[in-house]
Structure 1
Amino acid sequence: MRDLLLRVHTTTPADRDRGVDGLRALAILGVVLGHWLVTALVADSGTMSGASPLRDMPYLAPVSWVFQTLAVFFLVGGLVAARSRGSTPMTYREWLGGRLARLFRPVAAVVAVWTVVAVTMLAAGTGLEPVRTLARLVWSPLWFLLVFAALTAATPLAARLHPAWPLTTVALIDLLRYGLGGPAWLGSVNVLAGWLVPYCLGTNLAGNPGVTYGGRLLVGGGVVTVALVFWGGYPAAMVGVPGAVISNLDPPTLAAVTFGLAQCGAALLVLGPLRRALARPFAWAAVALVNLSAITIFLWHQTAMIAVTTLGLLTGHSLPGLHTAPGSPAWVLARLAWLPVFGVALAVCWAAFRGYERPRRKWDHRPDRIPYGESRP
């Protein structure tokens, strides 16, 4: 194992930006841990229903500030896509086809598996509502990939667009919806405009590697977000909460976008130290492993939680933190104890389905050839 980790380190191209890969890994792991902490499946009378600890314990909203890291993922996505597009001799169609193929191959696997699972559950007499609850947990992350694909296709345009334009669009849509009583469907505009802000920021950074405004983004975005929460009527939680009148995430609100800018500022501030830390072989190998299977981890982490929860029902008891309602700090402590078990289940899913993200190639099997050395930024 030590030799393998050292080979990952030595065969990684010298010009690969390890700090950016580190940010991507942190963003993915933040989303995974966030979902595991704020999503509960409550077992009652043989059925399961979804719940969130943020509904009964709103003082836990700061958890969402730490683990809702989608803005950082879009920042990195824009930066990497712009660098890739600018350095490849491929045509736009070839470049886009390659990036979308890697993005959507793993989707086919998860959709196929869960279609079979849902049909089997319905055929076995499971009620429609439990099946819908589970399917929603698994398939709802697909919206993220659709938005990411659309923004990837728009990379050449995004590289020439200032982030202030989509930010202004988000502010205008929120004003129309919440201030002037406009129709709810206007929020669909923010699904693209909201995430275009950090994506544009990333594409702009690709051509300006020496930027130094991370601190201004962190402070400015943070101050505006606090003002919007305390005086603008936006919820403090940066994720959706069942029963809430307004969700900051579905669609992204101005508060979610300004909060994302603060996160992007923090990411830029830690980029330098992260690059230095990832010069160490073992730290880099861990990040490389996550990056090679980032989409697989993202797509299957909810399945891992569902699998553990379902297997727990075989004990015949409602296990604390797994099947019980998330209404007290005791639930939080119990859920933290389950996180390593979720991690093991996710590792099983990863082993089974990672090949769909990086299909087998005809490696020449020389000892110095490993997949990460062959990967593109």
Structure 2
Amino acid sequence: MAGARQEAEGAARRASAEDGAARREGVADARRIVVKVGSSSLTTAAGGLDADRVDALVDVLAKHQDKEIVLVSSGAIAAGLAPLGLDRRPRDLARQQAAASVGQGLLVARYTASFARYGRRVGQVLLTSDDTSRRAHYRNAYRTLDQLLAMGAVPIVNENDTVATDEIRFGDNDRLAALVAHLVRADLLILLSDVDGLYDGDPATPGTSRIAEVTGPKDLEGISIGSAGKAGVGTGGMVTKVEAARIAAAAGIPVILTSTVHAADALAGGKTGTHFLRTGRRSADRLLWLAHASTPRGALVLDDGAVHAVLERKSSLLPAGISSVEGEFSAGDPVELRDAGGRAIARGVVNFDAREIPRLMGRSTRDLARELGPAYEREIVHRDDLVLLHH
């Protein structure tokens, strides 16, 4: 009986491997691809762009004329270190922003020259998470990126680090890449770094092995994920890459996590790196950005009835259900919605300034419209501008 069980388990493993091989082959068919590359793959440990590394990456990307590629590139801050006489990444925000200002121009200039060898144009697109969680800005960002691709250009995407505050600690663009993949409705996300995949322990420790495929969160249980890269010029590590892969996979986008030297194999659908399979369905809204990229400017505390309406009935938040207001925010800002116990249950884009809401709380929109005018006969947060965090 034990032999029969072992044989059955072996057959199941072989079937799973064959199934995984078929699914990995589908990666090669991806037409619109977001590729993210980290600072350590483009620069020296002392800072400054490594032209040979940039050219090597472009050599791989530019040869795929049949694919639409969006490149999310870190490296602006790192590229600006040496020109400003800095021997390491500064800790203070002002000098980070100064380095980004100098380095972003150098980074895009290098990409422009490198892609020009293949007759390819590039376009710089600087994004902030706050902008892209807003409806109009989200549509504008999509239209810009889509048009660049339609015209044969390669969008070079980065965070707008020169003006970003919280965004500058985004996770070395890993999460940004996952959200851009969702924004442009990509078929595939490739995360490139200095490690050739996700390992079941420290890759430098004997006996650890690379995980070839992740089908869902259970495959990652019990795995210790490191937090630092080798080169010391970026902010990301394996933690941010796995989180980015989870975000993309949950949005219906498969992910390949591998090293930059294996970029050609990844684009060709080879067995390099770690393949994160889709775990959710693709959607075409910006709520993923609201959930994973926005920084709440304040909070609204809801009564039990409003909590039930938001969570169970997927309703908009009305003035009658608000118990209190926290923080200073303006109409159009993202805010947290909390229950009476302080737990964040949702995040949404608010329609009123913080100072306006206290006089609206506990009242019906009909009464408010009668007293204050028709502009007040509306939701505090519309359900189309609201994403649930816990349910």
TM-score, normalised via structure 2 length: 0.24
Q: Going by fraction, where is strand more abundant, 1 or 2?
A: 2
Point out the structure with max Rg over C-alpha.
2
Q: Which has the higher contact order (CA 8 A, sep 6+)?
A: 1
